[in-house]
C-alpha cells in the first residue's frame, strides 16, 4: 500500500534551504519514492494556510517511507539544513483503501 509524506514548510532562510534541496535530491535516488508535488503557492480552497511551501512525496510502502525518513543521510541533511532554515509539520499517511 502506498504511503505519502506531506510537508508544510515555512522557509526562513532560502540560501540554507537550497543546500537542503541539493542534498535531498542526491540522497532521495536511493529510495522507492517519487516526488509528486512541490509548490510555493498552492491554491487554498478551504481554510487558512500559513506556510511557504507544500511538498508531497509518494513511497511504495510505509516501510519504505520510514526507511527514507530514518536514514542517516536524510537525518543529516535535515539536521544541517532543513531544521535550521524552515519549520512546519511533516506528515506520513498510508493510501486509503476503503472496505466497501
| H helix count then E strand count, the chain | 4, 5
Please indicate, yes or no, whether the overall pTM of this predicted structure exceeds 0.85: yes
For residues 34 and 58, is the Cβ–Cβ distance under 8 A?
Answer: yes
Q: Are strands 3-11 and 86-87 parallel, antiparallel or unpaired?
A: antiparallel
3-state secondary structure 2-41: CEEEEEEEEECCHHHHHHHHHHHHHHHCCCCEEEEEEECC
- The domain segmentation of the chain, as residue ranges, is 3-94
CATH topology of domain 3-94: Alpha-Beta Plaits (3.30.70)
Question: For the residues 10-15, what does the mean pLDDT come to?
Answer: 97
User: Percentage of the chain with pLDDT > 70?
Assistant: 99
C-alpha closest to that of 22 among 31, 14, 33: 14
Cell of 54: 507544500
Cell of 64: 519504505
pLDDT at 100 over 70: no
pLDDT tens sequence across 15-36: 999 999 999 989 999 899 999 9
Amino acid at each position: 500500500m502506498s504511503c505519502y509524506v506531506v510537508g508544510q514548510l515555512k522557509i526562513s532562510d532560502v540560501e540554507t534551504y537550497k543546500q537542503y534541496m541539493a542534498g535531498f535530491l542526491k540522497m532521495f535516488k536511493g529510495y522507492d519514492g517519487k516526488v509528486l508535488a512541490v509548490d510555493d503557492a498552492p491554491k487554498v480552497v478551504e481554510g487558512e494556510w500559513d506556510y511557504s511551501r507544500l511538498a508531497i512525496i509518494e513511497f511504495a510502502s510505509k516501510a519504505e517511507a520510514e526507511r527514507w525518513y530514518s536514514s542517516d543521510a536524510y537525518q543529516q541533511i535535515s539536521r544541517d539544513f532543513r531544521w535550521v532554515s524552515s519549520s512546519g509539520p511533516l506528515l506520513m499517511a498510508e493510501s486509503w483503501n476503503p472496505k466497501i
